[in-house]
Structure 1
Amino acid sequence: MKDSELLELLDVDGSGTSEQCKWCALSYVWGGDVPLKTTKATQLAHKERIPLDTLPQTMKDAVYVCRGLGIRYLWIDALCIIQDDQEDLREEVNHMPEVYQYATLTICAASSTSIYDGFLYRRGYWTHGCHAMNVRIAIDCSESIVLLSCSTSWYDVVHEYTTRAASLASDKLRALSAVARVYHLETGKEYLAGLWKEDIPTALCWGNGPKVRRGSGPFLTSQRPREYRAPSWSWASIDTPVRYWHEDRGALLKMRKLQVLSASITPTYPDGEFDSIASAFLVLHGSVRAVPLTTPIELQEFRTEDPTYRFSCIWVAGVRARVYPDAFEDQHETLDTLRFLLLTEYNHSHHPNIRFKGRYMTYRGLVLKSVQAQSDTFSRIGHFETEIDEPDSRLPDYLKAWTHAKFFDSFEDRTITLI
């Protein structure tokens, strides 16, 4: 196929197309602004002609694949959605589940970090969250093909998506809205700004990415957006790779009791709860304790020399708790009191550091700050982790008075609102 060949944008309204129409859908990473896209100004011109040689390499490779397979139609979001028309964006986003679900196949250019990279070259295997909407077939032009079935964990999809470069930070929820809509239809679960209500507290157990290796640059570069995008308890509220600590291996995990009393999502437009949030809150009932600090501090002042991860160390009732800020801005919070919301406990019964033949326990939860003085409204600024040796019950009473008891003495069942 010559680069001088022409393409055209087809306006499909359902009246002139056959039910047997076949198309491919392209899933790819924008990696910044796309040089060729449909706007109000280019819409008519694109319906007339789109020179193939003007397409970025990833789009061009997708055209080659379609031609090779004898499939006439190709859906590309940058070209098939009018990018500066909010009404068209909302309308087309609502149809994205069907676009991927009923496509003959989805071409996932998941090894590319931008629209310029292309994908028609030999490489290793890949996976991508968009496969969740098309489980019948996936295509790669190397020797390896990987399918992602509908049973794939939502947490894996979030991790994959946030680990990869996103086109625009503001598109975080919108980018996964099609997957979320399909997941909602399949499971009946209630969607809450990137989380599923029925999965709480598990859904709250996220942190700001994998541990940073020595020599790999800044420890913490995640940012909070200037404009509101999602509530603080949602992974979509920060720009960083996300990992879930409840999936850690090698320990017996127990989720602490946490009740969701109510939840509210206010979309920025009608039916926009999957992709555009104006405000949101959770009302929870769980184990909370205040962590008074002797003097107002900045969290970053408590960094350790650990080469793998930056965190803050705070001593609470004789127990060292590590605090992991969610974003760069959270490191500079000047606070005199934190709140810990307990979420999980791990039993490392065979951990080598165990003492007195007891149980080695790890406790994790959210770090909160008050939004208003003397109120029960908080926002999330990070998560904490603390490790405690629980002594054997056969020990003398004076040894049973372990520091872990003091640590938990101040936890109380409490109803709070997270925003």
Structure 2
Amino acid sequence: MEHPSVPKRPELCERCNLIFATIENLRSLVSSQGLPHYGPQELDEHAKAGCHMCQLLRYRFTPDYPHGTLFLQGSARDIPEVITQYPSQISSMGHLSVKWDTITIRVQGYTDDPVFSYLDIDPLSYDTGSAFVAKHYKKLLKECLEHHECGSRHLPPLPSRVIDVGLADSSIEPKLHVSDHTEKVPYTTLSYCWGDLGQLTTTKATLEKHQHCMPMSTLSLSVQNAITVTRHLGIRYLWVDALCIIQDCPTDVAREINKMGSIYTDSTLTIAATRSERAADGFLEKYSIDQAERPTEARYTMQGLAEPEPASKFFLPILLPNGTFGNISVSKKRPREWEPGYLESRGWTLQEFLLSKRLLLFGHDGDVRWHCLRRRGFDSVLFPSPSEEPEFVGGSLFVLHEGISGRGQTRQRVWSDIIKEYSGRKLTKLEDRLPAIAGIAAELKKQWNYSYAAGIWVELLQQDVLWEVLEEDDEIHPVSQQNIAPSWSWASVNKQVICPYDDRRWTAEILSCTVFLVDPGVPFGQVREGFLIIRGETCLETRATKGEFSGPGYKPKQDDVSSRASSLNLLLRVIHNTEYSKGNPYIGSSGVILQPVEDGKFKRVGVFSYDARHDITTNRSYWITREVIIV
């Protein structure tokens, strides 16, 4: 049957050229039966003759396809509206599939093609800062606010300062807004990397000036991009640390950092610039699938191919509701994998991710993702596909709360996972080791009502004191020379650490745990010094290294490359537990290695474990119970 008005694509056979080009075929595509195509033999012939659609189908379906004729079906994401005489499912067709088979073929098009006035399909090229992309994440935010239980419906007060983003037409420039603490309106937050280049910040000298105007041209590109996204969302205020904290005022810095937990928790949405290493880089970009070419002229001819490789992109004409034709492309459908960005390697950003109820992430190659408490994975904003779970468990601190019972062991696992992830991230300033996780600690304090001391919960201290350096590359990093935390805290070392969370019998007794803060008004911030007093069994480390009681099973692990066995070092045994394997008892002991410092005090320099069966009888006398003060 001839269809003279249908644009002819020379790279397609006649049947494939008409798949989307007639009203009858469109109705068949969305029917329960599907649109009949070729059988395997005809498909093979047309594929060898050069039809790219037949090549793609032949390449995709399995040789043992059980039916004589392939039936194509269009899969709709949703049905936004009913179009008279026109099958409504076509207007939201996400992909094409072969009936009774697992084949899925992505349907795409250019955003400036007439097809996008009618069909909700995947774009071949787009600008992540455009209204087109914004339409999709605005829809997700609206859905979450109206239908999800992702936080309180009551708006919290604004932070101390926020950026008034002005108007999208630039008739009003951004400016710094000082809140009176009674204003309750939505605001967004920005999670980004400062980088090594300078950017505009608020200082004592610029505070008043910024309240009048902060021209877009003076802001870092990442902040400009965040303002663009906030404007698209229809939200007036944005919080950015560089501009909303007075950077040369230590008092203001400490006070606002102490509030960061609630700032991100109360935010309507956090914008995450995951792809950018520096604030100057920005995170919005124009993206195009470069293999695709517009059908302005024929690129292919109907020539025979012995073993044709399907074209990466090609176009088919599609009939639109107004009677004209648009162009759509089909390709092998492969869900995009989320590629973690530079932002996810930085220490400060962990709490920004975990404390946010909603995240809008801008990644590599135009990849824009959505995360909220209901949608626990990282969902593609533009390309619907199965959710990808974040690498870090849960993806949100609020998800981690779920299922936590009153048992300390479960909470120990949560904290252990957080510390392992956080301690492996990078910080520009080592003195931020504790402040950069203070927001998480403050939120957990509300949930658990535990006592916090230099990165450790006192109620979980029995396990936390046995943290150890994770040595995946056999390299031991030195303890920081700065007085960041007491030696008994994991925060005292500049390396990734792990804390045990198994249920072992604690034999030592914690008598007291005391810390003195740099700023008493910042309870989760920097620590000046700390003391941990424990009563337990001790012995000289040399007895273990000489094999006098432990045999070959003694396994020390130093915190510091300069820490070695010494005649003065002390072993403090805190775990003494009997386990059974195939009916045979194994008595394991664990503890900390201590090095004497001034005034009879000790500092922790490592951990140890060993098979304690050797000291059950003759060597028990090596262990002496005493009190030790660890600084």
Q: Same fold (TM over 0.5)?
A: yes
Separation of aligned partners in 2, 1:412 and 1:31:
52
The equivalent residue for 2:535 is 285
Please say if residues 222 and 280 of structure 2, whose CA atoms lie closer than 8 Å, have aligned partners that are also in contact.
Answer: yes
Which residue does 1:379 correspond to in 2?
Answer: 603
Query: TM-score, normalised on structure 1?
Result: 0.74
**Aligned 8 A contact 1:253 1:345 in 2:** no
**Paired position in structure 1 for 2:593:** 367
Q: What residue number does 1:23 align with?
A: 187
Q: Name the SS of the counterpart of 1:84 in structure 2.
A: coil
- Tell me which amino acid in the other structure corresponds to 1:89: V
Deviation digits for residues 319-366 of structure 1 (CA, Å, limit 9, x no counterpart): 2423222134x43x683221122234677755xxx9xx6344553321
Per-residue deviation, 1:95: 2.6
**In structure 2, the residue corresponding to 1:323 is in which secondary structure?**
strand
Please tell me the residue identity of whatever aligns with 2:551: V
Alpha-carbon contact 2:571-2:594 (below 8 Å) kept: yes
> Would the alpha carbon gap of residues 316 and 243 (structure 1) be closer, same or farther in structure 2, given more than 3 Å must change?
farther
Does 1:66 find its partner at 2:245? no
Structure 2 match to 1:300: none
- Counterpart position of 2:584: 358
Give the alignment of 1:10-49 within 5 angstroms. 10-14=177-181, 18-19=183-184, 21-30=185-194, 35-49=199-213
Contact 1:38/1:46 (<8 A) preserved: yes
2:555 corresponds to: 322
Counterpart of 1:97?
Answer: 261
Q: Return the offset for 1:22.
A: 0.8
2:360 aligned to 114, 121, 139, which one? 139
The answer to whether structure 1 residue 166 and structure 2 residue 427 are counterparts is: yes
Q: 2:437 aligns with which of 158, 170, 176?
A: 176
Q: 1:130 aligns with which of 352, 373, 376?
A: 352
Tell me the equivalent position of 2:271.
107
Which residue of structure 1 lines up, in the alignment, with residue 397 of structure 2? 149
Matches for 1:381-400 after TM superposition, within 5 Å: 381-387=605-611, 390=613
Per the alignment, residue 305 of structure 1 pairs with: none
* d(CA) in 2 for partners of 1:57, 1:84: 22
Question: 2:64 aligns to what?
Answer: none
Q: Assess if the C-alpha contact under 8 Å between 2:197 and 2:280 holds in 1.
A: no
Q: CA 1:114–1:387 in structure 2 vs 1: closer, same or farther (change >3 Å)?
A: farther
Q: Please report how far the alpha carbon of residue 29 of structure 1 lies from its aligned counterpart in structure 2 after TM superposition.
A: 4.4
Question: Where does residue 259 of structure 1 map in the other structure?
Answer: 509
> Which whole-Å deviations, capped at 9, do the CAs of 1:225-281 have from their partners, x for residues lacking one?
33x22111112222222222x14xxxx741422322122221223323311222211
Local SS of the residue matching 2:606: strand
- Separation in 2 of the partners of 1:42 and 1:257? 58
Letter in 2 for 1:289: C
- What do the CA deviations read for 1:147-172 (whole angstroms, capped 9, x no partner)? 31333522222222221112321112
Unaligned runs of 5+ in 1: 214-218, 295-312, 391-401
Q: Name the SS of the counterpart of 1:50 in structure 2.
A: coil
Q: 1 CA distance for matches of 2:489 and 2:198?
A: 28
Moved more, 67-76 or 110-119: 110-119
Equivalenced residues, count: 365
Classify 1:342/1:120 alpha carbon distance in 2 versus 1 (closer, same or farther; 3 Å): farther
Q: Is the 8 A contact 1:224 1:238 kept in 2?
A: yes
Deviation of 1:182 (Å): 2.1
- From the superposition, tell whether residues 347 and 372 of structure 1 become closer, same or farther in structure 2 (CA, over 3 Å): same
AA in 2 matched with 1:317: F
> Residues of 1 paired with 2:221 and 2:619: CA distance?
57
SS in 2 for 1:288: strand
CA distance in 2, matches of 1:13, 1:116: 31
Q: Is the 8 A contact 1:209 1:243 kept in 2?
A: yes
Query: Alpha carbons of 1:79 and 1:369: their partners in 2 closer, same or farther (altered >3 Å)?
Result: same
1:212 positional shift: 1.6
In structure 2, distance between residues paired with 1:291 and 1:238: 22
Matches within 5 A, 1:392-411: 402=614, 409-411=621-623
Preserved CA contact (<8 Å) 2:519 2:525? no
Based on CA coordinates, which of the two structures has the bigger radius of gyration? Answer: 2
Match for residue 124 of structure 2?
none
C-alpha distance in 1, partners of 2:224/2:194?
A: 14
Q: Which residue of 2 aligns with 1:232?
A: 487
Q: Is the 8 A contact 2:258 2:524 kept in 1?
A: no
One-letter amino acid of the structure 2 residue matched with residue 322 of structure 1? K
Which residue of the other structure, out of 336, 339, 351, is the alignment partner of 2:570?
A: 339
Whether the aligned pair in 1 keeps the contact of 2:542 and 2:565 (CA below 8 Å) is no
Which residue pairs with 2:629 in the alignment? 417
Shift of 1:110: 5.5
Other structure's SS at 1:9 match: strand
Q: Check conservation: 1:28, 1:109, Cα contact below 8 A.
A: yes
> Structure 1 counterpart of 2:566, which letter?
L
For 2:617 and 2:193, the matched residues in 1 are separated by: 49
Q: CA deviation at 1:57?
A: 4.9
**Which structure 2 residues correspond to residues 201-212 of structure 1 after superposition, within 5 A?**
201-212=462-473
CA distance in 2, matches of 1:180, 1:102: 16
Q: How big is each residue's C-alpha offset from its partner over 1:375-397, in whole Å with a ceiling of 9 and x where there is no partner?
A: 3x211112223346x5xxxxxxx
Residue identity opposite 1:379 in structure 2: K
Structure 1 residue 220 corresponds to structure 2 residue 476: yes
Q: Distance in 2 between matches of 1:115 and 1:342?
A: 48
Report the AA paired with residue 221 of structure 1. H
Closer, same or farther: CA 43–208 of 1 in aligned 2, 3 Å: farther
The Cα of 1:116 is off from its aligned counterpart by 5.4
* 3-state secondary structure, aligned to 2:574: strand
How far apart are residue 371 of structure 1 and its match? 1.4
Alignment partners' CA distance in 2, 1:371 and 1:53 = 55
Deviates more, 1:265-274 or 1:402-411: 402-411
Distance of aligned partners of 1:334 and 1:342 in 2 relative to their CA distance in 1, 3 Å threshold: closer
Trace 1:291-310 onto structure 2 (pairs within 5 A): 291-292=541-542
8 Å Cα contact 1:253/1:346 also seen in 2: no
Q: Is the 8 A contact 2:255 2:522 kept in 1?
A: no
- Provide TM-score, normalisation by structure 2: 0.51
Question: 1:172-225: CA deviations, max 9, x gaps?
Answer: 211122222222122211110111111111121212235227xxxxx1234413
